[in-house]
Every structure is written in C-alpha cells, then in structure tokens.
Amino acid sequence: MSIVESAIYRDGRKVESPQSLQDTYRLLQTVMDRAQQDCAQDDHADTVVAWIGLYRPSREEIASLTEHFQLHELAVEDTVQAHQRPKMERYGETLFTVIRPAVYQDESETVEIGEIHIFTGPNFVITIRHSESSGVGKARKRVEADPQLLCFGPDGILYALLDQIVDDYFPVLSGLENDIDEIEDSLFAGESNVSQRIYELAREVNEFHRGVAPLSEVMRRYFAGFTKYGTHEELQHRLRDVLDHVIQVSGKLDSMRSSLTDAMSLDSTLTTARQNEAAMVQNDQMKKISSWAAILFAPSIVGSIYGMNFENMPELHWTLGYPFALVLMVLVGVVLYAVFKIKDWL
C-alpha cells in the first residue's frame, strides 16, 4: 500500500487512523453518520474531514479513490501522468490543485523540485506525492496542533499545505543566493569550471521559477471564488498572505535570473580578456624567439660563405680576412640586437 498516513478529523480533532482505503471509506461514513445524529440532538454541526496521504499510488488505488469520491477523469489522468505545472481546477464540488515543493540539498548544492496533487472535496482531502520532497508531513502536524484550521474543513487543510510549501521556498532561496555569491567570487578568481557552474545554477533557478511563477495567477483565480464557495473570512486573509509570499519568492527568482545572466556575460568578457592577454604574452615570446633567431642566423650566413672553400675567393688569401669575418659577424649581431631592442622586441 502507498498510503503514507490517513486520518479522519471531527470538530478539529483526530478521531480515527485507518490503515487502508477501504477502512477510510467505512470509518468516514461512520463518523459522518454519528456527527449527523449528534447534530440532530444539539443543533451543532461538526466538521468531518478525511485526509488521505499517498506516495506514488498504484492505478488500482487511484481507481478506488476515483470511484468512491467521484473524482473527475481529467484530473485523475493528470495525476497518473504527473509532470504538471502548478494549477487549480474545479470539477463540481472537487478542487484539484497541483503545487511544486522544493528542497535545497546542501551536500550537492542542488535544488530538488517535487510535485504534489491535492484533491479537496466536501469532506475529504487527498494528497498524492510524486517525489520525496514535500511539506505534507509538516502541514499535517500543523493542522493537528491547530484545531481552528481543521474546523475550516478541507479549505483549511489546503491552506496549510500551500503555506507550508511556500514557506519551504525561502530556505531554497537562501541556498541559491549563497551559490550565486560563490560564483561571483569564482569569476574574478579565474577558476576553470565557473562557466559550467553558472550554467547548472541558471538551469536550477529556471526550473524553480517554472514551479513558482504560475502559482500567483493560480491563487488569484482561486480567490475569485471565495464568495461563491463561502470561504471563511479568516481563511481568506491567510491565503492572501500566502500569495504575498509567492510574489516575494517570484521577485527574488527574477532577480537571481538577471544576476546569472549578468554573470554569464561577465564570464564571457573575462574569458575573452584572458585569451587576449595570453595571446599578447605568446606574441611577445614569439618576438623574442624571432629576434634571437635573426641575431644568431646572420653570423652563421657569414661563416657559411667563408666555409665553402672555393679557389677563386679573394678573401681566402687576404691576411685580414679572418679578423674581418669575425668582426663582421659580431657587428651584424650587435646591429640586429640594437634594432630589436629599439622596437621593444627584446
């Protein structure tokens, strides 16, 4: 079974902890019948909610939930396929929500993006996780410690899930900000792998942004139905606070994307400058090598001419021929050295 945790709440308190889907269906009906009987006696209606948490459920389990809670086939299809963008879609009395939690992994300095599908109906909440990272466990502990949220019904649980997941975005932002600071230091240190790190970090920020950016518009459309679906006023205020946090996260991500774009441009500029500097150094070295080659080559020409030993060479019988050849070789070398020195080749 893929059930992580299942519980039935009545009037803000957990009253049952079923171990299977069939037990959940049976106990939920029992608690609802008992609440209706008590309501008839004291004219006080208790809120009854079943919260079923699953991790990568099988098709049989999803089919069972679909049949019992009358889930819409399009929402079920999205749940089976997964890889959805954040959204909220209402099918009759059931609201289907997709949200992308995020966790920053300190060991690998990467961002892990998850996916949670949430079905909220008149008396049930179904959370389906498709990844390890999620804030469902924290949200469950929070609502169980706050009976008021449970008294808001499924909307209260949905709020707790949204608020927890959005709050978990901020540690991710802190981790990404530290990575960007490290990249800025690495840029001017001339580290060899900084280009790859910038690209990888930009990809992570863009993926994170795709999981957050649509959420603000999704929530605004959700807010438009507050009056129609009778959302409690206090819950409306809390949900608007979640939206403010979403907008804040989106703004920081936009700033990070801009910083990484600037870092890419700066890295390209610095790389080009280093290549030009290396080329200039290499050019100076080639000048020195060429200059010394010319200085050494000129005397060798003189020496090679007088080493041919032809009979009809007047200088061979000249008394001053040998000193003259030596002086000529030295003189040519000195003249070439002076010329190259003046041109700053040496």
Q: Nearest CA to 195 among 265, 104, 273, 110?
A: 265
Give the confidence band of 45 by pLDDT, cuts at 50, 70, 90. low
Give, in order, the Cα–Cα distances in Å from 41 to each of 15, 36, 38, 44, 54: 20, 9, 5, 8, 36
Tokens read off for 122: 């008149």
Average pLDDT over residues 221-225: 86
Average pLDDT over residues 210-226: 88
Give the confidence band of 97 by pLDDT, cuts at 50, 70, 90. very high
Average pLDDT over residues 268-278: 77
d(CA 254, CA 237): 26
Q: How many CB atoms lie within 10 A of CB 176?
A: 23
- Please list, in sequence order, all residues whose beta carbon lies within 8 angstroms of the beta carbon of residue 199, skipping any fewer than 6 positions away: 264
Burial class (CB in 10 A: 0-12, 13-18, 19+), 68: middle
d(CA 249, CA 166): 8
Do 200 and 176 contact (CB within 8 A), yes or no? Answer: no
Q: Position of tokens 């707790």?
A: 160
Do 120 and 155 contact (CB within 8 A), yes or no? Answer: yes
d(CA 335, CA 333): 6
pLDDT given at position 73: 92
Can you give the pTM of this predicted structure?
Answer: 0.78
Q: Which long-range CB contacts under 8 A does 224-230 form with residues at least 24 apart? A: 225/90
Q: Position of tokens 């500097």?
A: 277
Helix or strand or coil: residue 251?
helix
Give the confidence band of 27 by pLDDT, cuts at 50, 70, 90. very high
Give the model confidence (pLDDT) of 105-160 as tens digits.
888 888 999 999 999 998 999 999 887 766 888 899 999 998 888 888 899 999 99
Do 211 and 100 contact (CB within 8 A), yes or no? Answer: yes
- Please list, in sequence order, all residues whose beta carbon lies within 8 angstroms of the beta carbon of residue 33, skipping any fewer than 6 positions away: none
Mean pLDDT, the chain, rounded, equals 85
Tokens read off for 134: 């999620």
- Please list, in sequence order, all residues whose beta carbon lies within 8 angstroms of the beta carbon of residue 51, skipping any fewer than 6 positions away: 5, 6, 7, 8, 9, 124, 125, 126, 127, 140, 157
